[in-house]
Amino acid sequence: MKTLMTGNEAIARGAYEYGVRLAAAYPGTPSTEILENLAKYPDIYSQWSPNEKVAMEVGIGAAIAGARTLVTMKMVGLNVAADPLFTAAYTGVRSGLVIVSADDPGMHSSQNEQDNRHYAAFAKVPMLEPSDSQEAKEMVGLALEISERFDTPVILRTTTRIAHSQSLVELNQPGERPLKPYAKDARKYVMIPAHGRARRLVVEERLQRLVEYAEGVSVNRMELRDREIGIITSGISYQYIREALPNVSVLKLGLTHPLPPQLIRDFASQVQKLYVVEELEPYLEKEIRALGIGVTGKELFPPYGEFSARLVKEKITEASQAKAVPFEAPVRPPVMCPGCPHRGLFYTLKQLKLVVSGDIGCYTLGTMAPLEAMDTCICMGASISGALGMEKAQPDLAEKVVSVIGDSTFLHSGITGLMDVVYNGGHSTVLILDNSITAMTGHQDNPGTGKTLMGKPAPKVDFAALARAVGVQRVSVVDPFDLEHSKEVIKAEVATKEPSVIISRRPCALIIKTHEPPVEVHDCTGCKMCLKLGCPALSFNEEKKTIQVDGALCTGCGLCVNVCKFNALRKAGVN
């Protein structure tokens, strides 16, 4: 039976068919749906971890304990999880361990465009790259097989177009879910230097065996057609080449670390002109050149952004096609939803003209007009530690800087920064935006929500108690819709010369099932003050010269009612 599946669904299906017993992840686009789908298979234990490093360590533990294991993350998540990965490459595994790294060429929803293929070479672990959903599924099986045969973690690297594109997948019955018996082996799993030095040699010897394996594995295949042009490629680029230039010869690499030198030489010798087509960095290209083989790659193709069939055709045939000129359309950026609790808070931060050290989540949209209340956003957790650096470097900033971080991001890597603020005598004010969910990636549970990925009830982290426990004396809770109170508390805490935490608490508007009736407009003066909130439900009617409320969008949150100085905006039924 064949079904249309995204790459992410196919990877989950692969885990189900090929005997995975445990899966762990932290959500991150474009990887999130793998575990969301895996949680539908009750035979597999799957969990959200507070961050990718924790997920990786849970995965390594499970593989050492004897279970086939899957760990998934977006590409920047592997930065967080790199530490355990690099040493797990030395210890090896007992049962298969597959790590999915979902990269994001084009930066559809990421803060950078790093090419995680380098991690495979850096950590000295094998890597597979699928070109469609069927391959994504099968490569979970192959990765587990390689992992067990060579005693190593294996990276399965996808990109957004693989993760989020649907193609047909043949479904098979699941195999067994074996659990190997555990046995202590300190020389292999306790990485003190003496043991590590021995394992270091194993890693090198393993890589040599993997090179031999790469020469013959079926996912590395030569497709010889017209010999005039030969292209070496992997991942989604393969599809673009087949679409654009169906007659050229292709060396399609599915196992892209380590590479098969003999196969590459062989292919190069059979074609007249050799190209390499790969999105992002010249990863394959450098390796091919290091073999002494002349190849054309990044002279033609950009090291950034996504490719397309058209780009491949234009660059290789040097024939540019006439392009239709697009109309000039105003952008439609993502915005904070109507009723979003973050809006009130950012409105207040803007009014107070504070320096805002930001973080990763829906609330990063606070940088957009009209709120524009954010100064920095680097990575998960950087808001708190970054603010400490700012105030230590520029003492004037101590009276002005606040850090803003969501509940899930705080648990991911904000808590360590908060300890740093307390320990090193920072004065900054930390705002934890607790909307009771991991919202940006599509509403996943986390240790603060009281529920697990598999739907079981769980204890909830008490943010106030946690802040006090690390030594924050001043902890307060505000409702971001209560603008006056929030403003007072923020002003007072910023002025205090000691660390403080303000928990801004209100659930995400999208997880609340029932909303208030839409706000009403009475005798509007047209001052447009409420438009400064940037609410998609409010607009100015140029003919009537008054504000109008889109009743289909308005959640009746009443934030605009609080901002209106003329009592023109009113909660439904209030005079």
Partner 1 sequence: MANNMNILLVGVGGQGTILASKILTYAALSQGYAVKMSEIHGMAQRGGSVVTQVRLGEHIDSPVIDEGEADMIVAFEQLEAYRWAHYLKGGGVLIVNTQKIVPLPVLIGLAVYPDNIIHRLREKVSRVVEVDGLRLAAEAGNARATNVVLVGILARFMDFPQEVWQEALKARIPEKLLELNKKAFTLGYDYPGVVAI
Decide: is 534 part of the binding site for partner 1 (CB under 8 A).
Answer: yes
> Which residues sit opposite 158 in a β-bridge?
102
Distance in angstroms (rounded) separating the CA atoms of residues 257 and 13 = 24
Q: Which stretch binds partner 1 (CB under 8 A): 242-250, 476-484, 512-520, 555-563?
A: 242-250
Q: How many CB atoms lie within 10 A of CB 460?
A: 13
Distance in angstroms (rounded) separating the CA atoms of residues 349 and 504 = 12
Q: What is the per-residue DSSP string for 344-410?
A: HHHHHHHHTT-EEE--SSGGGGGGSTTT---SB--STTHHHHHHHHHHHH-GGGGGTEEEEEEHHHI
Instruction: Name which of 134 and 500 has its Cβ closer to partner 1.
Output: 134
List CB contacts of 381: < 8 A, sequence separation 6 or more.
359, 405, 409, 410, 412, 413, 414, 416, 417
Decide: is 536 part of the binding site for partner 1 (CB under 8 A).
Answer: yes
Instruction: Name which of 314 and 482 has its Cβ closer to partner 1.
Output: 314
Decide: is 368 part of the binding site for partner 1 (CB under 8 A).
Answer: yes
Instruction: Name which of 69 and 234 has its Cβ closer to partner 1.
Output: 234
Of the candidate residues 37, 160, 348, 385, the single one contacting partner 1 (CB under 8 A): 160
Of the candidate residues 234, 441, 449, 486, the single one contacting partner 1 (CB under 8 A): 441
Of the candidate residues 370, 425, 450, 471, the single one contacting partner 1 (CB under 8 A): 370
Decide: is 539 part of the binding site for partner 1 (CB under 8 A).
Answer: yes
Instruction: Name which of 528 and 545 has its Cβ closer to partner 1.
Output: 528
Instruction: Name which of 270 and 308 has its Cβ closer to partner 1.
Output: 308
Least separation in angstroms between residue 417's CB and partner 1 is 25
Instruction: Name which of 112 and 473 has its Cβ closer to partner 1.
Output: 112
List CB contacts of 443: < 8 A, sequence separation 6 or more.
437, 508, 510, 511
Q: Are 67 and 179 in contact (CB under 8 A)?
A: yes
36-75 mask for partner 1 (x: CB under 8 A)? ----------------------------------------
Is 334 in a helix, a strand, or coil? coil
Instruction: Name which of 431 and 537 has its Cβ closer to partner 1.
Output: 537
Closest CA to 373 of 345, 397, 405: 345
Decide: is 111 part of the binding site for partner 1 (CB under 8 A).
Answer: no
> Which residues sit opposite 248 in a β-bridge?
226
Decide: is 98 part of the binding site for partner 1 (CB under 8 A).
Answer: no
Distance in angstroms (rounded) separating the CA atoms of residues 558 and 569 = 8
Instruction: Name which of 93 and 229 has its Cβ closer to partner 1.
Output: 229
Q: How many CB atoms lie within 10 A of CB 566?
A: 12
Of the candidate residues 91, 167, 408, 500, the single one contacting partner 1 (CB under 8 A): 167
Least separation in angstroms between residue 132's CB and partner 1 is 8
Of the candidate residues 175, 178, 442, 471, the single one contacting partner 1 (CB under 8 A): 442
Q: Are 73 and 100 in contact (CB under 8 A)?
A: yes
Instruction: Name which of 8 and 256 has its Cβ closer to partner 1.
Output: 8
Q: Which stretch binds partner 1 (CB under 8 A): 16-24, 121-129, 235-243, 466-474?
A: 235-243
Phi/psi at 290 (5° precision): -65, -20
**Positions in 280-339 near partner 1 (CB under 8 A):** 308-310, 321, 323-337
Instruction: Name which of 330 and 395 has its Cβ closer to partner 1.
Output: 330
Q: What is the per-residue DSSP string for 250-299?
A: EEE-SEEES--HHHHHHHHHH-SEEEEE-SSS-HHHHHHHHTT---B-TT
Least separation in angstroms between residue 81's CB and partner 1 is 20
Of the candidate residues 145, 149, 168, 450, the single one contacting partner 1 (CB under 8 A): 168
Q: Are strands 226-233 and 248-252 parallel, antiparallel or unpaired?
A: parallel
Dihedral of CA atoms 234, 237, 239, 244 in degrees, nearest 10, equals -130
Of the candidate residues 213, 540, 562, 570, the single one contacting partner 1 (CB under 8 A): 540
Distance in angstroms (rounded) separating the CA atoms of residues 223 and 462 = 58
Q: Are 67 and 22 in contact (CB under 8 A)?
A: yes
Decide: is 175 part of the binding site for partner 1 (CB under 8 A).
Answer: no
Distance in angstroms (rounded) separating the CA atoms of residues 153 and 126 = 7
Distance in angstroms (rounded) separating the CA atoms of residues 223 and 249 = 6
> Which residues sit opposite 233 in a β-bridge?
252, 277
Least separation in angstroms between residue 329's CB and partner 1 is 4
Decide: is 164 part of the binding site for partner 1 (CB under 8 A).
Answer: yes
Of the candidate residues 199, 242, 315, 343, the single one contacting partner 1 (CB under 8 A): 242
Least separation in angstroms between residue 74's CB and partner 1 is 10
Decide: is 109 part of the binding site for partner 1 (CB under 8 A).
Answer: yes
Of the candidate residues 171, 293, 419, 510, the single one contacting partner 1 (CB under 8 A): 510
Applying CB under 8 A, which residues contact partner 1?
Answer: 4, 29-30, 108-109, 132, 160-161, 164-168, 239-240, 242-244, 308-310, 321, 323-337, 362, 365, 368-370, 440-442, 510, 528, 531-532, 534, 536, 538-540
